Amino acid sequence: MTSSHLSSQAVALLAFVATVTLALVAALVGSAPDWVVQSADSLPLLPGQLDMLLPAEPAR
């Protein structure tokens, strides 16, 4: 068996970072359906002449 080159503090830090990353991803995936529903609900509220409100070309 070969010994690991990482200290126990480094392993603990990596485990913490991985846990926080997974928690953030889970929170974003869990709230994504709320964003989709909110976006879909607001579509009928868009004005009919939306193309008149938005510029055809970006300002220079």
Task: Give dist(CA 20, CA 17) in Å, integer.
Answer: 5
Structure confidence at residue 23 as a pLDDT band (50, 70, 90): very high
- For residues 32-38, give the mean pLDDT: 66
pTM of the complete model: 0.47
Percentage, residues of the chain above pLDDT 70 = 48
**CA-only gyration radius of the chain, Å:** 24
Task: Give dist(CA 2, CA 6) in Å, integer.
Answer: 12
Structure confidence at residue 29 as a pLDDT band (50, 70, 90): confident
pLDDT at 48: 65
